[in-house]
Structure 1
């Protein structure tokens, strides 16, 4: 009996986490197949896997709501295997960007090739923002530095500033540009979150630098540092492959960071932190984020979908994030909801009733978009 108790707990997903790193490998394989066989269809396989294959697997495999034993958390969080998988994603991401850039210049006059390359390369750079998200929350400086490196291909380095110091403070409030409101379509959310995120990051850096007696344009400005990484990276690629590459770099970045923003749209849609006795938003709790424990998509996304635990405990590493039954649950993993979010009538039909159910029918407790069909209901209840 004592021997059984002393046996260390083993993560049943230990080797399956490598699927996240295999995803850019799959994209690279299909770029090679296109080069070898000249069939453009290979370039669209990764998008089909992301938007069709993974949602189908989520539906077939289902959810994994198990949590690891509390006594196993320390050893699992310190295990270097999980950190190595995160770090390994970044060289694969950059190699894919270089390979895709070379193909884009070679096939500059073929729009279907470019579209396939944008979906492939931009898709992986979008998924890499999730890697940057995980690294950017950790205490070691080198991990946070790598987070900004992973954001460079899509020119979204300010996300590191705004997400950690802005979004996590204001999440599930009307003031947060990255928290979608009930009745707000993704296409209305997109410009609000993109422009609002840039403005917020800039203001946060202005305040931080002013507190240190430094000017806004000082080299310590973390937004400027991150954007400089993009300028150096893109400048090197343009020097290597020529100016014809610039439209490709811009379009793949647009698609890549738009994948991030559609995930942001899903994560907090309609949820609101209620005011406390002083009128300030209550402390962030698991119920302020949509949760999903669909097993396959969580393996590909380093368990980002256990978002409730992440917001309640931002420093927890992905392998020890927990499922909370009390948190609002998504009907599918993120991969299955991306296309739905792009189609507002379907999104509203699926998600609005879930927001209302979470608040027991009291729409006044939700984060509501002004001018939406839910606004009159709020007016009537007050």
Structure 2
């Protein structure tokens, strides 16, 4: 009987036993000191960015894409299979344990400044990927998973994301009103402050409106943003008590890197895309055409199918293991890690992506989410 369950599960999802590899990212938090101790190579303080921006892109190229789609008749079984939930749950203890270990190492006067920056960068990568776990958990109706989402956001001090992503971004995605939807012609470095500041403002307003409808003040204990920020204060406060005030620059730097990584992914996911209009002038329901998609297998396993973003926005209730590739969705030429590196150099990004945006809309600029004042002429991709 046990063998039959194993076989049936594998048949429903050929990648079933790969999803545990999604724990590599939070596991990076535990690796630096171990690798440095056993190899003597100080380079391993930087293991996080090495894995994210070197190893994974190379594996994406070597292994290629996976366009498989779960069968509709398997949807219910895949959704209820708790194995997939544990793959995200287990990321949290790895993430938090690694943060405390890194805080201890940062407080050690024997660690030089360059190595400390490498350690903080690795933990910042873990923090950014931790927001991805929070993204998956925060979409769920179960109270446990929603609480875990707030914990996952604590390391990056980005607790308002719990509110803004679900009730702001998903409602306004691929429209000029959404701060997290990048506009055509807008560089990554212009986008990040606009999205970060706009996201906080939107979350504060949305949560205030929700509480007001329930007859509560913004400073109510029921405020989801205050709950998430309180977890950050408790976490950072515990770090200061254990390791002293010297740990504060580490906490600030790793959080900043994590936020930058998240906003870089936001930039990639909807660059230049605009939802179609209804006859009454309003925006149509979000479709797979309104998000950039990528089927590169390694990054999708590593990020719990985040790159199947088109299906996620068209069907936000789907758990990550059930997300499908869509023929309607515009396709990125590479996985997220490679695209982030391109986005960091705006001329390279525009050379690669602007033609794809225009091709997606048949060259019609009126259909594009365009940055005000952007008049650059680009030919559609052939």
Normalised TM-score (structure 2)? 0.94
How far the C-alpha of 1:274 sits from its partner, in A, is 2.1
Secondary structure of the corresponding residue to residue 178 of structure 1? coil
Indicate which of 346, 349, 356 corresponds to 1:347: 349
How far apart are the structure 2 equivalents of 1:228 and 1:207?
A: 20
Query: Distance in 2 between the 1:105 and 1:37 partners?
Result: 22
1:232 aligns with 2:210: no
Pick from 156, 159, 162 the counterpart of residue 158 of structure 2.
156
Aligned to 2:224: 222
- Using a 3 Å threshold, how does the CA distance of structure 1 residues 107 and 303 change in structure 2: closer, same or farther? farther
Partner of 1:16: 18
Q: How far is 1:72 from its partner?
A: 1.1
Aligned residue in 2 for 1:271: 273
Alignment of 1:194-273 (within 5 A): 194-273=196-275
**Which deviates more, 35-44 or 217-226?**
35-44
**What is the alpha-carbon distance in structure 1 between the residues aligned to residue 14 and residue 32 of structure 2?**
30
Deviation at 1:26?
Answer: 4.1
> Which region of structure 1 is more displaced relative to structure 2, 219-228 or 29-38?
29-38
Residues 326 and 107 of structure 1: CA distance in aligned 2, closer, same or farther (over 3 Å): farther
Q: Give secondary structure in 2 for the equivalent of 1:184.
A: coil
How far did 1:219 drift?
Answer: 1.7
2:84 is aligned to: 82
Residue 349 of structure 1, CA deviation = 0.4
Question: What is residue 125 of structure 1 aligned with on the other side?
Answer: 127
Q: CA deviation at 1:376?
A: 11
Count the aligned residue pairs. Answer: 372
Question: For each residue in 1:88-129, what CA deviation from the matched residue of structure 2 results, as whole angstroms up to 9, or x when unmatched?
Answer: 000000011001111111148722112111111111111010
SS in 2 for 1:106: coil
For 1:376 and 1:125, the matched residues in 2 are separated by: 37
Question: Do the aligned residues in 2 keep the contact of 1:104 with 1:248 (CA within 8 Å)?
Answer: yes
Deviation string, structure 1 residues 49-75 (Cα, Å, up to 9, x no partner) = 210111111111111001121111111
8 Å CA contact retained: 2:64, 2:297: yes
- Separation in 2, partners of 1:274, 1:303: 25
Specify the alignment match of 2:308 in structure 1. 306
Comparing 27-36 with 184-193, greater Cα deviation is found at: 27-36
What are the ranges of 5 or more consecutive residues in structure 1 without an aligned counterpart? 1-6, 378-382
CA contact (8 A) 2:26 2:130 kept: no
Aligned residue number for residue 3 of structure 1 = none
Would you say 1:137 and 2:108 are equivalent positions? Answer: no
Larger CA deviation: 22-31 vs 44-53: 22-31
Residues 105, 111 of structure 2: 8 Å contact kept: no
Give the structure 2 partner of residue 328 of structure 1.
Answer: 330
Matches within 5 A, 1:14-163: 14-35=16-37, 39-107=41-109, 110-163=112-165
State the distance in 2 between where 1:73 and 1:10 align: 9
| Root-mean-square deviation over aligned CA pairs | 1.7
Compare 7-16 and 286-295 and name the one that shifted more.
7-16
TM-score (norm: length of structure 1): 0.94
Secondary structure, aligned partner of 1:18: helix
- Rounded to whole Å, the distance in 2 between the matches of 1:108 and 1:254 is 24
Q: Deviations over 1:255-284 (max 9, x none)?
A: 011110000000000000122111111110
Structure 1 residues 75 and 190, CA, compared in 2 at 3 Å: closer, same or farther?
same
Judged with a 3 Å threshold, the aligned counterparts in structure 2 of structure 1 residues 368 and 374 are, in CA distance, closer, same or farther, namely farther
Hey, what does 1:181 align to over in structure 2? 183
Find out whether 1:284 has 2:286 as its counterpart: yes
- Tell me if structure 1 keeps the 8 A contact 2:48–2:126: no
Retained in 1: the 8 A contact 2:29–2:99? no
Do the aligned residues in 2 keep the contact of 1:182 with 1:374 (CA within 8 Å)? no
Tell me the distance in 1 between the aligned counterparts of 2:327 and 2:296: 13
Is the CA contact (8 Å cut-off) linking 1:284 and 1:312 kept in structure 2?
Answer: yes
For structure 2, list consecutive stretches of 5 or more residues without a partner in the other structure.
1-6
**Are 1:178 and 1:264, in contact at CA under 8 Å, matched by a contact in 2?**
yes
